[in-house]
Structure 1
Amino acid sequence: MQTGTVYLVGAGPGDPGLLTLKGKACLEKADIVIYDALANESLLNYLQPQAKRVYVGKKAGQHTMKQDDINALLVESARQYAHVVRLKGGDPFVFGRGGEEALVLAENQIPFEIVPGVTAGIAVPAYSGIPVTHRDTATSVAFVTGHESPDKTEEDAQVDWQRMARSCDTLVIYMGVKNLPYIVQELKTAGLPDDTPVAVICDGTYPAQRTLTGTLQTIASQAQEQNVKPPAMIVVGSVVKLHDSLSWFEQRPLFGQTIVVTRNADADARLTNLLEDQGAQVLHFPTIEIVEGIPNPDMEQAMQQLASYDWLIFTSGNAVRIFFQQLLTDNRDIRALHDLKIAAIGKPTAEQLQTYHLHADFVPDQFTSEQLVAGMLAQRIGTNTRILFPCSNLSNPHIAEQFRQAGATIDVLPVYETRLSTPEAKKVDELKSLIQHGQVSWITFTSSSTVHNFVQLVGQEFLAEYHERIPAASIGPVTTATLEEYGLRPRVTASKHTYQGLVNAMRGDE
């Protein structure tokens, strides 16, 4: 009987950037993915839309599926699909029960491959500034499960804490938070001194990561006081002392801040990426939905008449993307623009043009529609100048009006609609609760549309009561003016009207 292949893929410790290239390739070709609780769900974005997703996560006291049932599911899936991905947190063969699953596949003569992942035992300490080995300090390291029940007899116990304490400089303990008092006592009984450094790292490699440092004498009570919950990694040994000097992940400018992004992250992840690079925890609350107007007879007609235009104007990256998608669909390429000059409202739009190997002929110094028009009119655009303006259905009407007043002919071509997004009511309530309790550091607004729609989603009554708790960050003066119409005074307005400028403003760099 012919079967598919099962790929046991290590998802890494949490940060999606730590997924291996081969792991990414497996996800991209998967017909079905069977994934764990510790695998970052954002990795599922690499799947094809038709790929089936099955969650089999296991948390303390909450097992979606027993291990025997997971094993059976892998066998059954291999008999139905060509490419089966078993996505496991960290590395499949490091306390991931990957060996058990591989044995079941081998017994059933099902082809499989192991795709190693970055194990949490190395990555999480590294993200906390703790090297598990260090010259002159630690030349040996042991990875130990802390999940074993303390009720086991000495004969039944698989973890020999006495031997671990004597033989290794660094102990890295997985799944040990619940048993931390027991582990501490065992290590002390084994002869480790009370002042042995210990670190407990919660939510390692995620924006919510926090590191608790102490000693064998203090760490159990510290963890209890701080209400430490899994997932967490425990590190025991002198290398923990290096945390104070080498901590980097938790020192980034926006670390510990919760920032709401009101744009559609699926369509444009640039702002999210910039914020996460600075350490922020990003919450996506999309207020706008981009709906492409395809098929679009007006666009098709404009494509046929490109040679009749002098200028092509873009005021958004979405307009660039959709326009060139249509151009290429019509069996044309950028040579169709050989006589056209191109204007972009700002740097982000110009960068989107560069993805098509095109350089904007004009970008205003200040990225506003007023400066765009003024700058182009200064270049003697006027009578007999023909302009094509692919844009949103909500584009600023003053752009076309001012060009017409100057004698130019401008064809406004809406190529997409900006609509109100419809998040689940639960998500709206969750955001309101965070705002009420002061748990949001910033809410970013990158256009007037995001402001109008945000207000519509949270409601005018909520806004009136909690407007002082809405820490708005505005990308520019037009967006700021819209915020002020609703009685919202932004705490920062970017002086450079780009995503990077907005991030810099929140960092306090402007």
Structure 2
Amino acid sequence: MSDRPRVAFFRPDDERTTEAVALLDDLGADALADPMLEVAPTGASPRTDADYAVFTSKTGAELVAETGWRAGETTVCAIGDPTADALEAEGFRVDLVPEEFSSSGLVAALEGEISGARVEVARSDHGSDVLLDGLNEAGAYVHETVLYRLVRPDGAGESAEAAADGGLDAALFTSSLTVEHFLAAAAERGVRDEAVRGLEDAVVGVIGDPTAETARSHGIDVDVIPERADFEELATDAVAALDER
């Protein structure tokens, strides 16, 4: 039996899982990868007549390239450096990355210059209303294109059983949807209440206030919210919180 803490995370089963396992190992933790999100592309492409186009994820950046979309004179905005890096890797020019990597951060960066402008938001089907509402309130004409849907993979839920059995030291939630899918998987396995109780003894880390609000609304206490919406910071802060205990 390892003396290292056991830390669950819920990123999609792609290179992000590989990177997370390596990061947690470097931090001295044993990773429990339990993907709660699976990407189902819609094949949709953003409008080409927008003044601004907003991308919110690395996945969206990769999928939009597959559609053949071209930015032209559109101002391209990315929420976060990972999204910007992915867009640039696909050959797109990125014009704006807000200082705060969040929907509200992007709205703050654009308000004052988008009144009357056409703004295209290209993202998943579970995007926050904060972004659309904020852009509309700033006077923009907003259109949303759903590039992909996020579904719960078959077989997800090993982490819920671990939490229910008291075998989880930390859990890292990267979106409200990961919280909801964790709880749904726990319910399917008949351990929802036990899993929530098990998280009381674990360090629960989340990215962003919306995810924290979702967790708390379901009775999950939140211990760690990193300053930046970044998985490495989330994992580092959570393991540091474990060390303090």
Instruction: Pick one of 54, 60, 63 that aligns with 1:313.
Output: 54
Residues of 1 paired with 2:169 and 2:196: CA distance?
19
Instruction: Pick one of 448, 462, 480 that aligns with 2:176.
Output: 448
Q: Do residues 262 (structure 1) and 13 (structure 2) align?
A: no
Instruction: Pick one of 100, 107, 115 that aligns with 1:373.
Output: 107
Instruction: Pick one of 64, 71, 79 that aligns with 1:337.
Output: 71
Aligned to 1:363: 97
| Structure 1 unaligned residues grouped into runs of 5+ | 1-201, 203-207, 209-254
Deviations 1:87-145 (A, max 9, x none): xxxxxxxxxxxxxxxxxxxxxxxxxxxxxxxxxxxxxxxxxxxxxxxxxxxxxxxxxxx
Instruction: Pick one of 371, 382, 392 that aligns with 2:115.
Output: 382
CA contact (8 A) 1:265 1:272 kept: no
Aligned to 1:282: 31
Aligned to 1:494: 226
Residues of 2 paired with 1:436 and 1:342: CA distance?
44
CA contact (8 A) 2:164 2:195 kept: no
Residues of 2 paired with 1:411 and 1:431: CA distance?
37
Larger Rg over CA atoms:
1
CA contact (8 A) 1:259 1:443 kept: yes
DSSP-derived class of the 2:114 partner: coil
- 1:349: Cα distance to partner? 1.4
Q: Do residues 413 (structure 1) and 145 (structure 2) align?
A: yes
CA contact (8 A) 2:163 2:194 kept: no
- 1:256: Cα distance to partner? 1.8
Residues of 2 paired with 1:503 and 1:437: CA distance?
22
| Structure 2 unaligned residues grouped into runs of 5+ | none
CA contact (8 A) 1:390 1:414 kept: yes
Task: Pick closer, same or farther for the CA change 1:433–1:393 going to 2, 3 Å.
Answer: closer
- 1:354: Cα distance to partner? 2.7
Task: Pick closer, same or farther for the CA change 1:281–1:391 going to 2, 3 Å.
Answer: same
TM-score by length of 1: 0.43
- 1:411: Cα distance to partner? 1.6
Aligned to 1:52: none
Aligned to 1:166: none
Task: Pick closer, same or farther for the CA change 1:470–1:388 going to 2, 3 Å.
Answer: same
Give the number of the structure with larger relative contact order, counting CA–CA contacts within 8 Å between residues 6 or more apart: 2
Instruction: Pick one of 431, 439, 442 that aligns with 2:167.
Output: 439
Deviations 1:51-72 (A, max 9, x none): xxxxxxxxxxxxxxxxxxxxxx
DSSP-derived class of the 2:16 partner: coil
- 1:404: Cα distance to partner? 2.5
Structure 1 residue ranges, 4+ long, deviating more than 6 angstroms after superposition? none
DSSP-derived class of the 1:492 partner: coil
Q: Do residues 352 (structure 1) and 86 (structure 2) align?
A: yes
CA contact (8 A) 2:21 2:31 kept: yes
Instruction: Pick one of 38, 42, 56 that aligns with 1:293.
Output: 42
Deviations 1:427-468 (A, max 9, x none): x3x544532443322111000000011111112433454341
Task: Pick closer, same or farther for the CA change 1:408–1:482 going to 2, 3 Å.
Answer: same
Task: Pick closer, same or farther for the CA change 1:256–1:470 going to 2, 3 Å.
Answer: closer
Task: Pick closer, same or farther for the CA change 1:280–1:461 going to 2, 3 Å.
Answer: closer
Task: Pick closer, same or farther for the CA change 1:353–1:276 going to 2, 3 Å.
Answer: farther
Residues of 2 paired with 1:482 and 1:436: CA distance?
20
DSSP-derived class of the 1:268 partner: helix
Task: Pick closer, same or farther for the CA change 1:271–1:476 going to 2, 3 Å.
Answer: farther
DSSP-derived class of the 1:508 partner: helix
TM-score by length of 2: 0.85
Matches within 5 A, 1:207-286: 256-266=4-14, 268-269=16-17, 270-286=19-35
Aligned to 1:326: 67
CA contact (8 A) 1:346 1:367 kept: yes
Partner amino acid, structure 1, of 2:6: T
Task: Pick closer, same or farther for the CA change 1:421–1:347 going to 2, 3 Å.
Answer: same
Partner amino acid, structure 2, of 1:324: A
Task: Pick closer, same or farther for the CA change 1:273–1:453 going to 2, 3 Å.
Answer: same
Residues of 2 paired with 1:351 and 1:275: CA distance?
23
DSSP-derived class of the 1:389 partner: strand
- 1:347: Cα distance to partner? 2.0
DSSP-derived class of the 1:259 partner: strand
